Amino acid sequence: MTDFVGAYELAHEKPDKKYSMLPTMIHLCSPLQNNEVIELGCGTGFFTKPLAISAKHVLAIDHCTKALADAPIIPNVTYREANIFDYTYPNCDIVCAPYVLNYASSLKELEQLISKLSASLNREGKIVSIVDLPKNLLHDNRRFGSVKKIKSFEDEQKIDIRLFNDDKEIFSFESTYFAPQTLERVCLQNGLSPEWHLPFVSKKGIERFGSSFWQDYIHNCEVGYFVAKKF
């Protein structure tokens, strides 16, 4: 059986993650030049490497020892093994937080994390995040890379997530659902102005799969993108 880190490496090749999530997140984090970036849940460096191309410095945090051991050595990247909910964050300009807000087990834990992240941001800094937001109780986006199942759209409901690549299941896990209005409220309470964004598909993704493959993706993807700027 494939270990978790190995399985997560396979997830990097999912069409949605490689050709939409990655370019959209880097775009929303920009401009990166001369900025201090904190990346949460860096794993083996999927987002870290493109962030580091332009950022002044990236502090990449993950709780998994094995994942960090497999991450690339990059001069302007510092890796830190830590629990993102317990960590004391240094000052930064940008927090890149793909998927990890849904790792909060409760609304209280989410509020505490966003409070800490907001406190770490320099003036006009921002949090950039991807969050799990299925549109249906069973949201089947298998051909793009995932199937998500939830019992109801209430805060703290568990989302059953199955990841696929080339119609083959890679692995499954759970995350925690928070409604868009809840995320907005928590951000505003912590001095952050949230704004939702649509993703886009890279030119390479269209060349790889064709435009018809992506026809329904943008307005039917099961994740949401938001930028929360400090005010």
225 assigned to some structural domain: yes
The residue whose two tokens read 């370019």 is 23
pLDDT-based confidence at 8, cuts 50/70/90?
confident
Domain span holding position 108: 4-134+179-230
186 assigned to some structural domain: yes
154 assigned to some structural domain: no
168 assigned to some structural domain: no
94-142 pLDDT, tens digit each: 999 999 999 999 999 999 999 999 999 999 999 999 999 999 999 999 9
**pTM of this prediction?**
0.95
> 82: domain CATH number?
3.40.50.150
189 assigned to some structural domain: yes
162-215 pLDDT, tens digit each: 999 988 999 999 999 999 999 999 999 999 999 999 999 999 999 999 999 999
156 assigned to some structural domain: no
153 assigned to some structural domain: no
Q: What's the structural domain count of the chain?
A: 1
pLDDT reading at 2 higher than 70: no
33 assigned to some structural domain: yes
